[in-house]
Amino acid sequence: MKGLPGFRDFYPEPIPTADSWSLDLRRHIFDTWRGTAERYGFREYDGPPIEELELYTKKSGDEIVGQLYNFTDKGSRNVSLRPEMTPTLARMAAAHTRNYKKPIKWFSIPQLFRYERQQKGRLREHFQLNADIIGEENLAADAELIALLIDTLRNLKLTSDDFVVRLSSRHAWQDFFENSSAHEKDVCDFYQIIDKLDREDPIVSGEKLAKLGFSLEQVNDFIESGQATDELAAIIGNIEARGLGDFIKVDYQIIRGLAYYTGPVYEAFDKRGKFRAIAGGGRYDHLVKLVSGGKTDLPALGFGMGDVVLAELLKDRGLVPPLGQALDAFVQITDESLRNASLSLVQQLRQAGQATEYPLLRAKPDKQLKRALELKAKWLVTLDNANQAHIKNLGTREEQTVPLVDVASALQD
RNA sequence: GUGGCCGUAGUUCAAUGGUAGAGCCCCAGAUUGUGAUUCUGGUUGUUGCGGGUUCGAGUCCCGUCGGUCACCCCA
């Protein structure tokens, strides 16, 4: 039996093959995500991995169903594995908004699903850091989130040589759109065309734009001008004040595909152009109202950062830290008559907080030593008799003899 | 959903259409008065699966499943 297509198995280090997914690497990423978000004052939340299908079609239309991992459950409900976290967050926030002081700063690390054939950096499931701020319309919130995004990547040891946040805004494009003779109803189609500019044939894009009353040249000129609006200048000023100015630039090519974005939008890109976008987000001021059926109306914004592209990027840049078991002590048993005394010692060490291993069954000395080295044990502990042991630091090769009762404290050094 | 490439032992890879192999890993034993040693032996395959062509298919053809990459879509 194999796993389902597009789903991953995560093995502990050492991973069996070079392209296996490492749970230790995953944990390194999650720990960094969680640690950075908490230092920014964000609180962790979670929701159900399955939601009613309608939660997703409500804001994106029925076309999205083709991309969803959806099915009918035994109660004849139309449900879907969650493809993104934002609708769940909007639902949760709308339901209990009065119970929290504003702004609400929350993050989550959900596993998300989509039903499509896999390709580079895109599987049928992935984990994503989601950080959102609800209830603050000021640009300071946008800047705070972008700073979190940048610091999260910096804490993974990526530098301004590795990535840049490309900042844009729907407001800027809206002004551009309204300064023309185009019809307001076409604005969503217009955004779609901009979103596809870099992967669509320019001739096709030009034709589509012409139908809405624009020329490709006109659009390209606007993108190339890269002139920051007051809104974007304020965000960049905020980021610069934190000393993170090297990590951000205006780029009107970014507009994001989703219909619900309403203001500033951004994506973090690998500077060498080898990978897909590392992260993306923006402001969605009307989504909470939409999901709550009009009961609650709160401005909101957020970003998502997936683990698949990130893991590939870290491996590519040699930024994966040493991973694997970090054993404190290996208690070897060379004399089986001392097994019970050794077990007693193992118990003491474990109770003292030392990660401790020992041979479950009689084993040859060379095998035991080899195992201790493979497990990267810091200490090798051997009982000489029922009252005395010698401990060896496997890093420095220093050895000393200590009374049995002092072993645990000797290992603390 | 569409298309390209790929599929041999746990793993990395061999095998002109002619008896399916090697290194590594793993396991056992021997040696070693403790630093990854050395020696000996051993397990493992319906060649992804199902058809077809052929005297004979890992090899050629078709289908299917899986992997991978691109398209569609982008959360």
Backbone angles phi, psi at A305, to 5 degrees: -140, 115
Tokens of A182: 């185009």
Question: What is the C-alpha separation between A89 and A298, in angstroms, rounded?
Answer: 12
CA distances from A106 to A111, A140, A142, A258, A296 (A): 16, 16, 14, 21, 18
ipTM of model: 0.83
A131 touches strand B (CB under 7 A): no
CB contact set of A56 (below 8 Å; sequence gap of 6+)? A64, A68, A80, A83, A84, A87
Domains identified in chain A and CATH numbers: 10-47+85-316 (3.30.930.10), 329-412 (3.40.50.800)
Q: Quick one: what percent of chain A has pLDDT higher than 70?
A: 99
Closest nucleotide relative to residue A366's CA, C1' based? B34
In this predicted structure, what is the pLDDT of residue A293?
84
Residue A182 has pLDDT above 90, yes or no: no
Tokens of A290: 């939409």
The residues of A between 97 and 126 with beta carbon within 7 Å of nucleic strand B are 112, 114, 116-122
Please state, rounded to an integer, the average pLDDT across all residues of chain A: 91
| Unique residue bearing structure tokens 């930024």 | A319
Three-state secondary structure call for residue A267: strand
What H or E segment, with its residue span, contains residue A126?
Answer: strand A125-134
Residue A325 has pLDDT above 80, yes or no: no
Residue A109 CA to nucleotide B29 C1', Å?
A: 51
What would the mean pLDDT of A104-128 be, rounded to a whole number? 93
In this predicted structure, what is the pLDDT of residue A1?
67
ω into residue A264 within 30 of 0, thus cis? no
DSSP single-letter state for residue A353: T
pLDDT digits (tens, 9 = 90+) for A234-280: 999 999 999 999 999 999 999 988 778 999 999 999 998 888 899 99
Closest nucleotide relative to residue A376's CA, C1' based? B36
| Residues shown for chain A | 413
The residues of A between 332 and 351 with beta carbon within 7 Å of nucleic strand B are 332, 334
Question: What is the C-alpha separation between A197 and A190, in angstroms, rounded?
Answer: 11
Residue A14 has pLDDT above 80, yes or no: yes
Question: What is the C-alpha separation between A41 and A120, in angstroms, rounded?
Answer: 34
> Are A145 and A303 contacting, i.e. CB atoms less than 8 angstroms apart?
yes
Question: What is the C-alpha separation between A270 and A156, in angstroms, rounded?
Answer: 14
Question: What is the C-alpha separation between A25 and A134, in angstroms, rounded?
Answer: 31
A273 touches strand B (CB under 7 A): no
Residue A311 CA to nucleotide B54 C1', Å?
A: 49
Please report which confidence band the pLDDT of residue A114 belongs to, taking 50, 70 and 90 as the band edges: very high
**Strand B nucleotides, any atom under 7 Å to a protein CB:** 1-3, 10-12, 29-32, 34-38, 65-75
CA distances from A16 to A20, A21, A25, A395 (A): 7, 9, 14, 26
The crossing angle, in degrees rounded to 10, of helices A139-155 and A23-39 is 140
In this predicted structure, what is the pLDDT of residue A43?
97
The residues of A between 3 and 32 with beta carbon within 7 Å of nucleic strand B are 5-6, 16-17
Q: In this complex, which residue's CA is closest to the C1' atom of nucleotide B33?
A: A365
> Would you call A209 exposed, middle or buried from its count of C-beta atoms within 10 A (0-12, 13-18, 19+)?
buried
Closest nucleotide relative to residue A120's CA, C1' based? B69
Residue A159 CA to nucleotide B69 C1', Å?
A: 29
Nearest CA-CA partner of A309 in A265, A267, A248: A267
Please report which confidence band the pLDDT of residue A120 belongs to, taking 50, 70 and 90 as the band edges: confident
Please report which confidence band the pLDDT of residue A163 belongs to, taking 50, 70 and 90 as the band edges: very high
ω into residue A14 within 30 of 0, thus cis? yes
pTM of the model as a whole: 0.91
The residues of A between 393 and 412 with beta carbon within 7 Å of nucleic strand B are 393-395, 397
Closest nucleotide relative to residue A119's CA, C1' based? B69
Neighbours of A73 (CB within 10 A): 9
The residues of A between 224 and 253 with beta carbon within 7 Å of nucleic strand B are none
What would the mean pLDDT of A45-65 be, rounded to a whole number? 86
Q: Quick one: what percent of chain A has pLDDT higher than 90?
A: 57
Three-state secondary structure call for residue A172: helix
A210-222: buried (b, 16+ CB within 10 Å) or exposed (e) per residue? eebebebeebbeb
In this predicted structure, what is the pLDDT of residue A412?
82
Residue A381 CA to nucleotide B71 C1', Å?
A: 60
Residue A107 has pLDDT above 90, yes or no: yes
DSSP single-letter state for residue A20: S
